[in-house]
Structure 1
Amino acid sequence: MKSAPRLVRRATPELSGWPEAFPPLLARLYAARGAVGIEQAQPRLANLLPPDLLAGIDDAVALLADAMAHDRHILVVGDFDCDGATACAVGVRGLRMLGATRVSHAVPNRIVHGYGLSPSLVEELARLEPELLVTVDHGIACHAGIAAAKQHGWKVLVTDHHLPGNTLPAADAIVDPNQPGDRFPSKALAGVGVMFYVLLALRKHLREAGRFPAGVPDLSQLLDLVAVGTVADLVPLDANNRALVGAGLRRLRAGQGCAGLRALIEVSQRDAARLTAADIGYAIGPRINAAGRLEDMALGIECLVTDDATQAREIAALLNEINGERRAVQQQMTDEAERALAAVSLHEAGSSRAAFCFFDAEWHPGVVGLVASKMKERLHRPVIAFAPAEPGSDRLRGSARSIAGFHMRDALAEVAASHPGLIERFGGHAMAAGLSLPMAALPAFEQAFGDCAARWLTPELLQAEIVSDGELRAGELDRRNAELLRDAGPWGQGFPEPLFDGEFDIVTTRVVGERHLKLELAHAGVRLNAIHFGGWEGTAPVGRVRIAYRLEPDDYRGGDAVQLVVVHREPA
């Protein structure tokens, strides 16, 4: 129902300033992604942006230092996604490393409490008798929950990275690089990155106060968790985030990750020594996320805070089972969305439909974000998927996913401003957001959201593009380059994994599973194995094709074997 994507090649600037021995292929790829020189291409922890540029950081440190000095109960309140879970684990582990003795954690249940620090969650937390709440990966929009916490007499420190609304909540301190007046150059920190930065600033304060006579704690031990949360949350991997993620990956590859992450790597059948950001995004992150989608994220957080390897393996096995259930639920819901789509024309009243909303009364609210993501990829349109907040509820929870050039949170803000009372609550980023509204309001919201998308989106933005790094010569399609590309990351959001294109002759094809296509291709006298996931279209392709592909080591075959992972195929 959408036009075929257009294959375009990324422009490469002039190469200069790179060491003579530096691989030319990597220099070309890095430069095309905006990295000028090796320091930007492969950033180091020594070049991290300083914490003192974050607004509110001094107030945050003062709150935490005072709580520690008076042995107050610090309660770290996480969120029910991977970023929130890793941020919670970093907060708990880091505060204990720095000397806090009364630290515990809690997390909302998606079905019971909804998102963030809600008044209902606050009432449940009262039995724990906290004295300082530290929110991680949420809080910037939790006005009512923070007000309820203050009524209990608790101090509240908000650490978040989401965009604020028109007003800030009445917390005692707020650290969020996206709040008004913040001077921190990178607005791309994930929630786990913000919490890590708070710990860096707290450690500096405590060190200057002489609180570490036995030696300064090594907070780099937390970077495995920072890497996982940052990659899983799909924030842009700018130089600062790449330094954090790269250091975390090195710890994981060396087997130095926490017990829970080591167990998750094992249960997902990944090779820790060759772990990549893609492995985090497709294998580790989803298993942590599954707990918050179908069960209770407390299980995922417990996996990340335990130091007991046996317990970590038991929890990881359970998370693996839950993730299998999540995949089945997601596939069923996506199939239902596809059936609904089949009844809708992309061209209504002579104009292109710019956005889509999907709803089913039987859908699970914890999985709608994945459905929205799948349909967004399918349609190259902004998509919002809705489900009842709980079975039988007349309130809907929606999860939104966007395309480049359409700022989802700003769009929801415009709809809310032009149609007061239509949306009960919303928040998020440019590419992803969440909202809630009464079921009766869905038709009016769908119309208003579609009108907004039609005004904002141009035909150019609605044309999907696959951006390639150009062609690889036959002599470059080897194991050395495949391993070089794998290890040269981290690649990810805003710093995309290398993708190449070229023309190949099809030698043989066969179907793998029900939807995947295994190919043998020929190029300049060289034969290569290739796999096109989801590439079976009912008939076998023949002749000559143009493909966009990733070059990867074929570890299954071993030796010098490589494999082309096809992401797009069209007749040559």
Structure 2
Amino acid sequence: MSGYDSSTNIDQTMVSTSELPPLVRDLLRKRGIEGEEAIDRFLRPDYHRDLADPFLMTDMTKAVERLQRAIVAGEKVAVYGDYDIDGVSSTALMVEVLEAHGLEPLSYIPDRYKEGYGVNQAALEQLAAQGVTLVLTVDCGITAVAEAAWAAEHGIDMVITDHHEVPDQIPQAVAVVNPKRPGDEYPFKELAGVGVAFALVRALQSRTGMPDVGQEKWLLDLVALGTVCDVMPLVGENRALVKYGLVVLQKTKRVGLVALMQSAGVEPESLRAFQIGFVLGPRLNAAGRMEHANFSLELLLTKDPIVAQQLAFQLEELNHQRQLEQQRIFEEANALAADYASDPVLVLADSSWPAGVVGIVASKLAESWGKPALVLELRDGVAKGSGRSAGGYPLIDGITANAELFDRFGGHAGAAGFTLPADNINLLRQGLNEHFLEVEPELEVTNDRVADIDLDDANQLNWELYHALAQLEPFGQGNTQPVFEVRNLKVVSLDTIGKNQQHLKLRLASPEGLIFESVGFNLAQDYPNLRSGQEVAVHALLEHNQYQGKSTLQLVLKGIQ
């Protein structure tokens, strides 16, 4: 399937448990992990123990049997995905597995701007014209009621795999595989779309013997990409999938990912979940935001190193364009937000803001203003956008309370996507602000800078602690990298660095004279009055810095008091 040495045992590379410092044990206890058995299970995810039987998912048997019939008959099968990384990695995974079974599957990812999210009838018509008799959806399809009915009427079977919230009415398809279906017995409900697709691969493998037992693990690079970039909680089964997936990524022979890591300046052997989410992820997502996600799909599937390098260069360029566009929109939206500074919820719209970028801008606005932000593109009388919450406000509740204003919407407490008539924007602004004021007394205000561990003694920030914390990786949603509050530090020196002098570089000293090199990304404008000699407390991550072959501990600052 991927040409890897079948003798390689991924399990051997997993980190072993060691004696944990009391600080780390206390952190685990605060996160609900205590007792030797629970700690051991958390620190040492086990592929065979932690992944449940895929046939516990409702309709999994039906899905496997339909795929088996397609394989035996050599049918024309299409894998229908989504334009985000979860959808693209899911599509690549299933295309690769079906090819290994002797099929020549088509792939279809809708255009973000022309088609939008999910299965659409025009795409099914196109696939039907190409002779497709089976459509397998990944990371989408759970709401495709009308589309599945059309497919059935026109001789196309559908097998739907998805992980999104299940509506009251689900499509009438050959199989609908989603662990969130009511009554579904699969014990872990927070899989990404690619996690559900991988469960289908494991189920199919148990019936066909392909790929060889153990070789399916080499698909976990794709599973890790989709799971991390879709911001799924890195606990339970996801923790095992991503931890093994990182091992695969660190030694991947997938030439597209090798080229992407080279162009992004990522060393494969030191790859962490953070770099998936904040270095590789934005580049892969840039294709769908600026052009078409097929560029990213081709990069994941190509076997040609030259093509891989060309595609990686294209993604690098598209990501640069995305960054410029994102910055432009943020500056314009931030200026417009000043006109609505008294509103508890920001609702901002403009015809020059592409819908593919507004979600990122909404996140930045919500963070900088400390309030929920919705950012919309206006085009042909339609407003399409994304929202991000802040301050504990359940954004989807506010949107649902104004449901009559929307053509369609979806999301959860922290984020949402939506489409509505442009004429309804003022009504939406009014409705959301009224809803916020109604529920404000009940909100549990969160402080993103609350520390996980308080320290009066900076001497505890040492290599022993760093290596112990490394065993908690992968960090991400549901298992965040711990933030330390370190008090009684003195600023020995400070400087601003970066293209726009936007970063802080500090040397901090403990009362005992221990010096910490520290960096605060994008913090320079937040602390214009900081001076050498000041005594401070900081919120920081404990990291290491590699420079000229020398490793040193470093504090990555999140806030200064």
Q: Normalization by structure 1: what TM-score?
A: 0.88
In the other structure, the counterpart of 1:448 is 431
Counterpart of 2:132 in 1: which secondary structure? coil
Which amino acid is the alignment partner of residue 81 of structure 1? D
Which of 405, 413, 423 is 2:400 aligned to?
413
Counterpart of 2:169 in 1: which secondary structure? coil
In the other structure, the counterpart of 1:527 is 515
Higher mean displacement: 460-469 or 369-378: 460-469
CA offset digits 1:15-71 (Å, max 9, x no partner): xxx977345444333333223321123321122122122122122112211211211
CA offset digits 1:375-415 (Å, max 9, x no partner): 12223333221113xxx421121212234754444543343
Q: How far has the Cα of 1:460 moved from its partner?
A: 4.9
Q: How far has the Cα of 1:106 moved from its partner?
A: 1.2
**Contact 1:520–1:528 (Cα < 8 Å) also in 2:** yes
Higher mean displacement: 523-532 or 143-152: 143-152
CA offset digits 1:507-562 (Å, max 9, x no partner): 11111122111111101310111111111127341311111001111112542412
1:556 aligns with 2:547: yes
CA gap 1:80/1:140 in 2 versus in 1, 3 angstroms: same
Which amino acid is the alignment partner of residue 396 of structure 1? A
In the other structure, the counterpart of 2:59 is 56
In the other structure, the counterpart of 2:486 is 502
Which amino acid is the alignment partner of residue 452 of structure 1? H
In the other structure, the counterpart of 1:365 is 355
Taking the aligned partners of 2:152 and 2:555, their CA distance within structure 1 comes to 57
**Contact 1:190–1:229 (Cα < 8 Å) also in 2:** yes
Q: How far has the Cα of 1:176 moved from its partner?
A: 1.3
Higher mean displacement: 448-457 or 261-270: 448-457
Which of 358, 369, 386 is 2:376 aligned to?
386
Counterpart of 1:468 in 2: which secondary structure? coil
Taking the aligned partners of 1:474 and 1:264, their CA distance within structure 2 comes to 38
Which amino acid is the alignment partner of residue 474 of structure 2? P
In the other structure, the counterpart of 2:383 is 396
**Contact 2:392–2:446 (Cα < 8 Å) also in 1:** no
Which amino acid is the alignment partner of residue 319 of structure 2? N
Taking the aligned partners of 1:19 and 1:84, their CA distance within structure 2 comes to 34
CA gap 1:414/1:169 in 2 versus in 1, 3 angstroms: farther
Higher mean displacement: 527-536 or 114-123: 114-123
Q: How far has the Cα of 1:178 moved from its partner?
A: 1.8
What pairs with 1:273-284 in structure 2 (closer than 5 Å)?
273-284=269-280
Which amino acid is the alignment partner of residue 77 of structure 1? Y
Counterpart of 2:380 in 1: which secondary structure? coil
In the other structure, the counterpart of 1:541 is 530
1:136 aligns with 2:138: yes
Q: How far has the Cα of 1:183 moved from its partner?
A: 2.4
**Contact 2:89–2:297 (Cα < 8 Å) also in 1:** yes
Taking the aligned partners of 1:493 and 1:267, their CA distance within structure 2 comes to 27
Taking the aligned partners of 1:252 and 1:20, their CA distance within structure 2 comes to 25
Counterpart of 1:110 in 2: which secondary structure? coil
CA gap 1:560/1:20 in 2 versus in 1, 3 angstroms: closer
Q: How far has the Cα of 1:102 moved from its partner?
A: 2.6
What pairs with 1:1-400 in structure 2 (closer than 5 Å)?
21-35=19-33, 36-47=38-49, 48-97=51-100, 99-207=101-209, 215-216=212-213, 218-253=215-250, 255-346=251-342, 353=344, 355-388=345-378, 392-400=379-387
Which amino acid is the alignment partner of residue 375 of structure 1? L
Structural RMSD (CA) = 2.2
**Contact 1:41–1:239 (Cα < 8 Å) also in 2:** no
Gaps of 5+ in 2: 1-15
Q: How far has the Cα of 1:147 moved from its partner?
A: 3.0
Taking the aligned partners of 1:244 and 1:92, their CA distance within structure 2 comes to 20
**Contact 2:354–2:377 (Cα < 8 Å) also in 1:** yes
Taking the aligned partners of 1:50 and 1:457, their CA distance within structure 2 comes to 43
Which amino acid is the alignment partner of residue 32 of structure 1? K
Which amino acid is the alignment partner of residue 277 of structure 2? G
Taking the aligned partners of 1:378 and 1:100, their CA distance within structure 2 comes to 52
CA offset digits 1:55-95 (Å, max 9, x no partner): 22122112211211211111001111111111111111122
Which amino acid is the alignment partner of residue 440 of structure 1? D
Q: Stretches of 4+ moved more than 6 A in 1?
A: none
1:438 aligns with 2:421: yes
CA gap 1:231/1:469 in 2 versus in 1, 3 angstroms: same
Taking the aligned partners of 2:156 and 2:207, their CA distance within structure 1 comes to 23
Counterpart of 2:454 in 1: which secondary structure? coil
**Contact 2:21–2:465 (Cα < 8 Å) also in 1:** no
Counterpart of 1:129 in 2: which secondary structure? coil
**Contact 1:78–1:85 (Cα < 8 Å) also in 2:** yes
CA gap 1:62/1:447 in 2 versus in 1, 3 angstroms: farther
Counterpart of 2:507 in 1: which secondary structure? strand
**Contact 2:541–2:556 (Cα < 8 Å) also in 1:** yes
**Contact 1:380–1:464 (Cα < 8 Å) also in 2:** no
**Contact 2:77–2:104 (Cα < 8 Å) also in 1:** yes
Q: How far has the Cα of 1:464 moved from its partner?
A: 2.8
CA offset digits 1:353-394 (Å, max 9, x no partner): 2x2222111101110111111112223333221113xxx421
Counterpart of 2:504 in 1: which secondary structure? strand
CA gap 1:546/1:282 in 2 versus in 1, 3 angstroms: same
Q: How far has the Cα of 1:252 moved from its partner?
A: 1.5
Higher mean displacement: 286-295 or 130-139: 130-139
Taking the aligned partners of 2:346 and 2:161, their CA distance within structure 1 comes to 33
Q: How far has the Cα of 1:465 moved from its partner?
A: 3.7
The higher relative CO (CA closer than 8 Å, separation ≥ 6) is in 1
Taking the aligned partners of 2:507 and 2:358, their CA distance within structure 1 comes to 37
Gaps of 5+ in 1: 1-17
Taking the aligned partners of 2:47 and 2:239, their CA distance within structure 1 comes to 9
Which amino acid is the alignment partner of residue 397 of structure 1? K
CA gap 1:488/1:313 in 2 versus in 1, 3 angstroms: farther
Counterpart of 1:554 in 2: which secondary structure? strand
Which amino acid is the alignment partner of residue 535 of structure 2? R
In the other structure, the counterpart of 1:518 is 505
Taking the aligned partners of 1:32 and 1:42, their CA distance within structure 2 comes to 19
Of all paired residues, the percent bearing the same amino acid is: 34
Q: How far has the Cα of 1:457 moved from its partner?
A: 4.1
CA offset digits 1:90-137 (Å, max 9, x no partner): 11112223x141312111011111111112322333333211111111
In the other structure, the counterpart of 1:3 is none
Higher mean displacement: 24-33 or 45-54: 24-33
**Contact 2:88–2:293 (Cα < 8 Å) also in 1:** yes
